[in-house]
Amino acid sequence: MTVFSRTYNGEAPQRLDQFLSEVYADASRSRLLQYIKDARVTVNGAAVTKGGYWLSAGDVVELALPAERPSKLIPEERTLDILHEDENTLILNKPAGVVVHPSFGHDSGTIVHAVLAHCKDLGSFGGEIRPGVVHRLDRDTSGILILAKNEKALNFLQAQFKSREIEKRYLALVDGRPPTPTGRIEAPIGRDPKRRQMMAILPADKGRAAVTEYFTKAEYKRHTLIDARLLTGRTHQLRVHFAFLKCPIVADALYGYRKQSIPLDRHFLHAYRVAVTLPGRSEPSAFEAPLPPELQSVLDGLEPAQPATYG
């Protein structure tokens, strides 16, 4: 157990929770309130369990932190394609074929293992197996991935995802054509009751709301390049939604055609743009990741469609 001691020297009384938030700026308010509730905070030697306790000048505040459990994750040196880094945030261009955090069957070689080697002081906030993970990308989806470097930044960024303030855009090559060149898909998604490794479109009372907007960027003889915008962030959302439209993502072994139209070792889905307000800033910043070479080469080899596709 580690004990931190601070003396309140303000002229006017101040609430205990506000004082702790100022002193321990990297900790979330909810975490500090839990410490207070757990009687880990004392004022002049006496335990205080209410965040609204008023401090006076000269009060000595002590915070006893529980002993940290050593992480079972072992940092692994790996080259990271870093798009942006500051004291709060790390934004990466994730390659296909790499899992974001440890899971069953993936206890090494993940992005988290590499980030732990890059950020030596990354804590265990966000969970022991996924420290700093703000959101996830599927293993075979490439593109922009956001990670937080402290708990306060994690909460700040995750709140934007929850309130749908973050703009997330993907490039997807699909088989065939969607019903219209632009559109909005509103179809609830949940775990497939028959195939538990898959997600599926479900009735509204059984699935979670899922909304995708899409725009046609280019048309080819047998395929369409789509710019898709996620308005929600359900597991496998784009893969399920485009399969629902009968134009699955190319080389998607789970939701696509059994016989693939283009031989690829990954599906053609890339998170190419994110607009997010970073901790400490008031306006959104936009980040873009170029299409990986293996996907660009697929586009370069496709035959363009004839002019009149929709009619």
The DSSP secondary structure of 71-95, one letter per residue, reads PS---------EEEE-SSEEEEEEP
Is residue 229 within 8 Å of 275, Cβ to Cβ? Answer: no
What is the distance between the alpha carbons of residues 267 and 236, in angstroms, rounded to a whole number?
Answer: 12
Q: Residue 59 catalytic?
A: no
Classify 155 as helix, strand or coil.
helix
192: Cβ contacts below 8 Å, ≥ 6 apart: 198, 199, 200
Query: In 3-state terms, what secondary structure has residue 103?
Result: strand
Q: Which two tokens stand for residue 271?
A: 């998170």
d(CA 88, CA 198): 34
DSSP conformational letter for 203: -
Evaluate whether 153 touches 279 at the Cβ level (below 8 Å): yes
3-state SS, residue 184: strand
Residue with tokens 């956001």: 146
Catalytic-labelled residue, pool 17, 86, 107, 138: 138
Give CA 220 to chain center in angstroms.
32
Name the CA radius of gyration of the chain, rounded.
24
Residues with catalytic function: 138
